Amino acid sequence: QAQGNTFKIGLVLPMTGQQASTGRQIEAAARLYMAQNGDTVAGKKVELIVKDDTSLPDVTKRLAQELVVNDKVNVLAGFGITPSAMATAPIATQSKTPMVVMAAATSSITEASPYIVRTSFTLPQVSVAMGDWAPKNGIKSVVSLVTDYGPGNDAEKFFTERFQLNGGKVLDKLRVPLRNPDFAPFLQKVRDAKPDALFVFVPSGAGAAVMKQFLERGMDKAGIKLIATGDVTDDDQLNDMGDGALGVVTTHHYSAAHPSAANRKFVEAFQKANKNMRPNFMAMGGYDGMRVIYEALKTTKGQGGGDALLAAMKGQIFESPRGQVLIDAQTRDIVQDVYLRKVEKKDGQLYNVEFDVIKAVKDPGKAK
């Protein structure tokens, strides 16, 4: 296949290891998008090259370098965790290759390279909403518990600052390591502090362990509510968490239960193509990321290099299965609706059911 007739997307994801569900969800979503929209765009044959970085940032960087130099990819995409995205940013800049971040969600990522465009979300974007909701709903004191790296630090800062601004009391701020976390000793501390609620952020894949430990230690029976970003009640795991998860309130940008025609169609097609696996917010970032790439290729009629593609990604606005979204032309970050959701049972399955929305939220991490 001549280079001139192909358009290559290098998709670097954690396909194995602790973050493997992120890779599985995003690859499935990218393949669904291609199956639905064809693999010929603006006269080019679109080729997806998937690489497993095992979520080790040095490996992500090496794979991205090889994809640019050897495979001559037109776009880099994926990036399951913040350190992987950060490690790759200089390669995007040096090679002028657009880099579509479909998962990682620390606010500052888009500032690490002018070639980065994000289709996932940011932790400040979803955490501020909880800092507003909780104090209005009887929660006067909290302990926060986050994974100790970029997105966790963002969640802690933006949730606790807003919660305090609204008159709430933060009794303690706890951080657990990213690799092989043991939540037990931290939850004991939370029990002793007796807050009205525990606020949690952990990355996709770790939510079920938090929920299990929270319930096993009888935190709910001790009168401590669990509130979180939607990473905890992850649609990839939620249905296996059991009825103990019922009633947990979270804030996030995507729920598989989002009641729109576009989402019903997306979820049905995704489940049909993937042995009934339920799409989570990672799949959503991957699906919309492919859309942003396809539309940029159409706009540039298959003729542009990295700079032209990047320009065509900026300012895209469309109805996603998650709701209306915009790729902000200035920040290259996603502007989207943020939902309040509660875990409820529908047709015998657990879902994050949306009960309120904050429209068109920009990343508050970039307000200054």
Residues that bind ligand DHB in the complex, under the rule CB under 6 A: 22, 81-82, 103-106, 150-151, 203-204, 231
Task: Give the C-alpha separation, 69 to 66, whole Å.
Answer: 5
Nearest to ligand DHB of 82, 125 (CB atom): 82
Q: How far is the CB of 204 from ligand DHB (least distance, A)?
A: 3
Task: Give the C-alpha separation, 226 to 130, whole Å.
Answer: 12
Nearest to ligand DHB of 33, 254 (CB atom): 254
Residue 195 dihedral angles phi and psi, to the nearest 5°: -75, 165
Nearest to ligand DHB of 18, 74 (CB atom): 18
Nearest-CB residue for ligand DHB: 203
Task: Give the C-alpha separation, 293 to 48, whole Å.
Answer: 12
Nearest to ligand DHB of 207, 323 (CB atom): 207
Nearest to ligand DHB of 152, 306 (CB atom): 152
Q: How far is the CB of 151 from ligand DHB (least distance, A)?
A: 4
CA dist list (Å): 114 to 75, 97, 290, 306, 333:
14, 10, 19, 11, 11
Closest to 35 in 3D by CA, of 287, 257, 235: 287
Q: How far is the CB of 82 from ligand DHB (least distance, A)?
A: 4
Nearest to ligand DHB of 231, 354 (CB atom): 231
Q: How far is the CB of 145 from ligand DHB (least distance, A)?
A: 15
Spatial contact of 107 and 50, defined as CB atoms under 8 Å apart: no
Nearest to ligand DHB of 135, 203 (CB atom): 203
Q: How far is the CB of 26 from ligand DHB (least distance, A)?
A: 11
CA dist list (Å): 126 to 7, 221, 242, 284:
34, 27, 25, 15
Q: How far is the CB of 102 from ligand DHB (least distance, A)?
A: 11
Report helix angle 281-299 to 306-313, nearest 10.
120
Spatial contact of 26 and 102, defined as CB atoms under 8 Å apart: yes
Task: Name the token pair of 57.
Answer: 């940032």
Q: How far is the CB of 229 from ligand DHB (least distance, A)?
A: 8
Widest pairwise Cα distance in the chain: 65
Q: How far is the CB of 154 from ligand DHB (least distance, A)?
A: 9
Task: Supply angle C-alpha 129, 127, 81, rounded to 5.
Answer: 145
Nearest to ligand DHB of 46, 146 (CB atom): 146
Nearest to ligand DHB of 63, 155 (CB atom): 155
Residue in this structure with the two tokens 């169609």, named with its chain if needed: 265
Closest to 210 in 3D by CA, of 152, 253, 167: 152
DSSP three-state, residue 136: helix
Closest to 296 in 3D by CA, of 318, 314, 317, 321: 314
Q: How far is the CB of 202 from ligand DHB (least distance, A)?
A: 8
Q: What residues does 40 pair with on adjacent strands? A: 45
